[in-house]
Structure 1
Amino acid sequence: MTSTQAVHQAPQDESGTPAGAPAEPDVARSVIRQLRVIIRALQGHSRSVERACGISASQLWALWELQRTPGLNVSDLSRRLSVHASTTSNLLDKLEHRGLIERRRPEKDQRIVRLYVTDAGLELLERAPAAPQGELNRALQSLPKGRLVELDQGLDLLVEAMNTTEPKAGLQPFDGKS
């Protein structure tokens, strides 16, 4: 091969496929099947959570987080759930209405609100299955860091290629109702 040919040859990935070339149909189908397995597992678990507990999987995950770390504020809980603070506030309103959590304000600074699971919330947690997002989070955290970074980058490319019109969809909890 001449140097002129080498300069004009497209870069290749590890499989020898030109970089940027569309994925092979069998690989794309495999990815679709794997995504379906993940989504269906989340949906099935969400339905079982609602049947067993009477609350959504997102609400259950919030309870688990508050039990693990009593006294979180809304911002801290939002980060742990990977949702927007307003979404967390709405979720907490529902839990508080059911008597499963309580909001407390320290006497020193009334602007700060701390969140705690009530006795009724603790009783619910004793009989509840694990929240599906918590399980997904656990599975992702168990991956080697390099693989998790690769997965994140690949999913970024997929979301970008989908030209989604809902850029904030990732800040809404998944309750498996779709």
Structure 2
Amino acid sequence: MSAVSAQNEPHRPATEGEPDLSRSVIRQLRVIIRALQGHSRAVERACGISASQLWALWELQRTPGLNVSDLSRRLSVHASTTSNLLDKLEYSGLVERRRPEKDQRIVRLYVTPKGEALLSDAPAAPQGELNRALHALPPERLADLDEGLTLLVEAMNTTEPRAGLQPFEVKT
């Protein structure tokens, strides 16, 4: 039975002596989410910007001159979300947008000296911590996790390929 067809069946509670694995999975997901949220709050306290904004700065420092679409792909968010995030970074003097003389339609993004100074003292982004933990897993376990999460996404009816890129409110 596929994960998608299983979603239509009523939840079967665990029988006596049988662990309720779904409860355990939910608990583990909550631990991960809380850890990421806690790290995000620590980033905001330390830097005065959100973890998403910090991640964007790191991406721009790593690859100066990205455009909004490129940065959106690297952040795995919708272009409108990236644009809103960049507005806040630009207003804070951390990022600047430049248009090349050859083609004024193109906008390139760069970290300012103020942004570079902030990055030099910044803690690690929560996405970096999650990425570090994922890379610490043996390849076969990472493949199992990917397969399991894919099944979970399918069971939740969120199989739209761009669902993870839908706009969301960026905290300032």
Calculate the TM-score normalised by the size of structure 1: 0.75
Match of residue 121, structure 1, among 115, 119, 142 = 115
Aligned ranges 1:57-96 → 2 under 5 Å: 57-96=51-90
Question: What are the superposed Cα offsets for residues 39-63 of structure 1, whole Å, 9 maximum, x if unpaired?
Answer: 1110100111111111111000000
Aligned-residue offset at 1:88: 0.6
Match of residue 131, structure 2, among 133, 137, 144 = 137
CA contact (8 A) 2:99 2:107 kept: yes
Task: Give the match's secondary structure for 1:130.
Answer: coil
RMSD of aligned alpha carbons: 3.0
Separation (CA, whole Å) in 1 of partners of 2:150 and 2:107: 35
Bigger relative contact order (CA 8 A; separation at least 6): 2
Compared with structure 1, are the counterparts of its residues 118 and 136 closer, same or farther at alpha carbon in structure 2 (3 Å cutoff)? Answer: same
User: Gaps (5+ residues) in structure 1?
Assistant: 1-9, 11-21
Separation (CA, whole Å) in 2 of partners of 1:58 and 1:45: 11
Aligned-residue offset at 1:169: 5.4
Compared with structure 1, are the counterparts of its residues 75 and 145 closer, same or farther at alpha carbon in structure 2 (3 Å cutoff)? Answer: farther
Compared with structure 1, are the counterparts of its residues 104 and 143 closer, same or farther at alpha carbon in structure 2 (3 Å cutoff)? Answer: farther
Compared with structure 1, are the counterparts of its residues 154 and 88 closer, same or farther at alpha carbon in structure 2 (3 Å cutoff)? Answer: same
Residue 80 of structure 2 aligns with an amino acid whose one-letter code is S
Separation (CA, whole Å) in 1 of partners of 2:82 and 2:170: 17
Task: Give the match's secondary structure for 1:109.
Answer: coil
Calculate the TM-score normalised by the size of structure 2: 0.77
Compared with structure 1, are the counterparts of its residues 175 and 82 closer, same or farther at alpha carbon in structure 2 (3 Å cutoff)? Answer: same
Q: Corresponding residue for 2:156?
A: 162
Separation (CA, whole Å) in 2 of partners of 1:107 and 1:117: 19
Q: Corresponding residue for 1:14?
A: none
Which structure would you say has the larger Rg? 1
Task: Give the match's secondary structure for 1:116.
Answer: strand
Q: Corresponding residue for 1:18?
A: none
Question: What are the superposed Cα offsets for residues 61-96 of structure 1, whole Å, 9 maximum, x if unpaired?
Answer: 000111111111111111111111111111111100
Aligned-residue offset at 1:150: 2.7
